[in-house]
Amino acid sequence: MTPLPKKKISKSRGRKRLATKLYKFPNLVKCQNCGKLITPHVMCPYCGTYNKLTIFKPKEEVKVTKVNKKEEGKTDES
């Protein structure tokens, strides 16, 4: 038989424990190139640079059109 917990952990106690784990804001750092907030040790999704090296050049026209379409749809629904 596998080892089992001795007592049941109540809903409130388990949720209290989870509350400390779940609600953490992501650690964000300013991009050295464009200055936007990005996750550290990850390539910037906005300008496509990592450690001052350009990995890709983002297609700004495509991104802008997608965002505008989504925003328009949201405004229409609300």
* Site residues, Zn ion (CB under 5 A): 31, 33-34, 44, 46-47
Q: At closest approach, how far in Å is the CB of 41 from Zn ion?
A: 14
Nearer CB in complex with Zn ion: 35/73: 35
Question: 63, 57 in Cβ contact below 8 A?
Answer: no
Task: Give residue 34's identity as a one-letter amino acid code.
Answer: C
Nearest-approach distance from CB 25 to Zn ion, in angstroms? 20
Other C-beta atoms lying within 10 Å of the C-beta of residue 67: 10
* Least distance CB 14 / Zn ion (angstroms): 40
Contact 32, 52 (CB under 8 A): yes
